[in-house]
Amino acid sequence: MIKLARYLKPFALSLALAIALLFAQAMCDLNLPNYMSNIVNIGIQQNGVERAAPDAMSENGMKLMRAFMLADEQALVDANYTLVDASQTDASGKAYTAAYPDAPDKIYVRNTGLSEDALSALDTAFGTATWTMINVMRDYASAQGASGQAGMPAGADDIDLSRLYGMLPMLYALPEASVLDAHDKAVANDQMIRKQSGVLLARAFLSELGADMAAIQNRYIISVGVKMLAIALIGGIATVLVSLISSRVAAGTARNLRRDVFRRVESFSNNEFDRFSTASLITRCTNDVTQIQMLLSFGIRLVCYAPIMAVGGTIMALRKSAGMAWIIAAACTLLIGIILVVVSTVTPRFKLIQKLVDKLNLVSRENLTGLMVIRAFAAQDHERARFEGVNADLTKNTLFVNRMMVLLMPLMMLVMNGTTLLVVWVGAHQIADSAMQVGDLMAFIQYAMQIIMSFLMISMMFIFLPRASVSAERIAEVLDTESSVRDPEKPKHFDPAQPGVVEFRNVSFRYSDAEENALTGITFTALPGQTTAIVGPTGSGKSTIASLLLRFYDATEGRVLVCGADVRDVAQAALRAKIGYVPQKGVLLSGTVGSNLRYGRKDAADAELEQAAAVAQAAEFIDAKPERFEADIAQGGGNVSGGQKQRLSIARALVKKPEILVFDDSFSALDFRTDAALRQALRANTGESTVIVIAQRINTVMNAEQIIVLEDGKVVGRGTHRELLKSCPEYYEIASSQLSKEELA
């Protein structure tokens, strides 16, 4: 996983932007419940009056409140309130009359531009004064032995201000000690409760001045609502942008990964192809990369957002009610427990699933490419069973994993709903005790949900992560595999004095997974202008010689020299540019006849194509096609016969006009007549090229200047046809099985 982190580097800027946006989104989401709580608490329950310190009040009102304040509180109020003349005819006077139509000539108004600190100090002062008043009234009532006003009235409308004003002279006559005592008791109350009671009085003071209470409420609710809308909009925009960025980053990273895996695979020598199966390489380049892409597009969104929400939500929830924190802690503990159980059962399955996808690919690939063989041997049932076995395995494991994931959802819902229930239960008691407001309870529930959701998201990551990390490992394995055949740091040059000379010096070779040498102590030289033939039974190592010459593998021992240079000392491209190779199995690429022939030399002229086709005996069937060189070749050359494929492969090598031509059993699919014609044409056209012909047919090699006889990877004879018939019993044996008595003589 870490190894692939460098693939995120090009997207560092996008990632930083995404994180910033996620932060913005989280802030928005965290603030919305707070505003909602304000609408409920202030907008609905306090009729839109925010503060215990009223915006304006009558002189009597001020007198009443001051009666219950200590000196420092009185000083604070004096500093922040101004007595104004509301009956003036100037602009400010008119504004006062409009806002407070019932106001007497002189009213106290709160100074504008006060800091939040000053305002909340004022709120506390007024709230405390309200409770001091309540306490004084209680004491007074009990002293009178009458059932006077026992506590706070239920609503602002129940407050009879004129009755209170009537008591003013009596209140100012009270002994200072009793006020102090009541004040001490008031301070013992929760600040929030003091403020709420203060707000009730503030509303009474405002409506005394004739303020439009309904308008105040509307104004408050609408202003908070508009803020909420704006925040939701910003949050929404951030969400969309983050999704866009994360998708781009994920898709871009996947593209780069695929490109690098593909390039790496292309550089692989046959050794590495033997190690990874083709099916597995395809899965790694497609499915595994997709896993990473999925992880990224979810991950970028979740990895940053969820922790911010978890921490932010906890802070906000604690601010709303620290007393209920234990509920969130309990819910989270339960969640983590559930997640741990699920993750630990699911993770091992992911590794298995990727392996099974590999296997499914392998079986389907083999079945599709080998369809004809399967049908010819009536092995459909066997293959079907094989496919169904793998398919069922994959299905079983995928189902298991998905069942576990699906189980997660209802469990989470249970925890969430249980939490809500508990919060409402506990919160209701707190509200009954006036320790909490309804809006705060609602906000607390929302924060609890946000916290749980963020844990859920983090847990999802823990489920995706193991799967993606399996994939990442598989990709990194490919990327970390250095091709065993590599270009030298400082490529040497070929010896211009030895053009086309091929020399094997005591070469031995063993396939990496084999126990025995495929070739042992091979020594020979092939000269330009001559044909060197290699004959031997199947499995004797003929194709392996061609592979070493083209440096598909490196020799285990000894040296392979081309044009006087060791093949390990020159660039692979330079080496292969010198060689025209016709593989044992003709392989064509999708395109046209012309595009296939030009594969080795893009700028070959039409006449050269014609000539190469004529030499390769391919002209006849090309001419039979109306589009000739423009005729389509299907993928893998599926629409031409084996013999035609071979002839096109030969023509392709000839168009390249290489110094060295290697034919690996290229004439085996040709009939005798075509074989003979082709050899004759070749002889006339290859000129100074070194021709290496690998064959099993004696006819094909009879006229070669040099024939090398291979058996079990060793050279058992070398010479011309005539010499070998006499000196080499292995050659004689092959020849006698193919030629008539007269030809052997």
Residue 467 binds: one of Mg ion, ligand ADP, none (C-beta under 5 to 8 A by kind): none
Residue 274 binds: one of ligand ADP, Mg ion, none (C-beta under 5 to 8 A by kind): ligand ADP
Residue identified by tokens 């595999």 is 481
DSSP conformation letters of 493-515:
PP-TTSTT-EEEEEEEE--TT-S
Whole-angstrom distance, CA of residue 644 vs CA of residue 596: 13
Q: Which is nearer to Mg ion, 316 or 694 (CB)?
A: 694
C-alpha distances in Å from residue 426, one per residue of 446, 448, 553, 642: 15, 14, 76, 83
Site for Mg ion in 560-589 (CB under 5 A): 584
SS3 of 372-403: the string is HHHHHCCCHHHHHHHHHHHHHHHHHHHHHHHH
Q: Which is nearer to ligand ADP, 153 or 558 (CB)?
A: 558
The string over 170-183, giving b where at least 16 C-beta atoms fall within 10 Å of a residue's C-beta and e elsewhere, is ebeeeeeeebeebb
Whole-angstrom distance, CA of residue 368 vs CA of residue 387: 12
DSSP conformation letters of 681-745:
HHHHH-TT-EEEEEES-HHHHTT-SEEEEEETTEEEEEE-HHHHHHH-HHHHHHHHHHS-HHHH-
Residue identified by tokens 């229930």 is 421
Helix (H, G, I), strand (E, B) or coil at 560: strand
Whole-angstrom distance, CA of residue 483 vs CA of residue 270: 9
Residue 544 binds: one of Mg ion, ligand ADP, none (C-beta under 5 to 8 A by kind): ligand ADP
Residue 480 binds: one of Mg ion, ligand ADP, none (C-beta under 5 to 8 A by kind): none
Binding mask 536-555 for Mg ion (x = CB under 5 A): -------x------------
Residue 369 C-beta: closest distance to ligand ADP, Å:
18
Q: Which is nearer to Mg ion, 663 or 731 (CB)?
A: 663
Whole-angstrom distance, CA of residue 47 vs CA of residue 177: 36
Residue 549 C-beta: closest distance to ligand ADP, Å:
12
Q: Does the protein bind Mg ion through residue 617 (CB under 5 A)?
A: no
The helix/strand count (H/E) of the chain reads as 28, 15
Q: Which is nearer to ligand ADP, 545 or 691 (CB)?
A: 545
Residue 299 C-beta: closest distance to ligand ADP, Å:
40
Residue 567 C-beta: closest distance to ligand ADP, Å:
17
Residue 539 binds: one of Mg ion, ligand ADP, none (C-beta under 5 to 8 A by kind): ligand ADP
- Structure-token pair, residue 345: 């059962």
Of the candidates 184, 85, 175, 79, which has an alpha carbon nearest to the alpha carbon of residue 131? 184
The full length of the chain comes to 745
Whole-angstrom distance, CA of residue 652 vs CA of residue 660: 14
Residue 669 C-beta: closest distance to ligand ADP, Å:
15
Residue 584 C-beta: closest distance to Mg ion, Å:
5
Residue 540 binds: one of Mg ion, ligand ADP, none (C-beta under 5 to 8 A by kind): ligand ADP
Site for Mg ion in 231-250 (CB under 5 A): none
Residue 551 C-beta: closest distance to Mg ion, Å:
17
106-110 and 531-535 strand pairing: unpaired
Q: Which is nearer to Mg ion, 382 or 585 (CB)?
A: 585
Q: Which is nearer to ligand ADP, 323 or 537 (CB)?
A: 537
Whole-angstrom distance, CA of residue 558 vs CA of residue 570: 16
Whole-angstrom distance, CA of residue 123 vs CA of residue 115: 12
- Structure-token pair, residue 364: 């389907």
Q: Which is nearer to ligand ADP, 171 or 734 (CB)?
A: 734
Residue 543 C-beta: closest distance to Mg ion, Å:
3
Q: Which is nearer to Mg ion, 25 or 547 (CB)?
A: 547
Residue 584 C-beta: closest distance to ligand ADP, Å:
7
| CB atoms closer than 10 angstroms to residue 17 | 15
Across 281-385, the runs of DSSP E, i.e. the strands, are none
| CB atoms closer than 10 angstroms to residue 143 | 10
Residue 542 C-beta: closest distance to Mg ion, Å:
5
Residue 338 C-beta: closest distance to ligand ADP, Å:
50
Q: Which is nearer to Mg ion, 494 or 731 (CB)?
A: 731
Residues that bind ligand ADP (CB under 6 A): 274, 511, 513-514, 518, 536, 538-544
Q: H or E element: which one contains 249?
A: helix 213-267
Q: Which is nearer to ligand ADP, 541 or 643 (CB)?
A: 541
* Side chain identity at residue 555, one-letter code: A
Q: Which is nearer to ligand ADP, 488 or 539 (CB)?
A: 539
Residues at the interface with Mg ion (CB under 5 A) = 543, 584
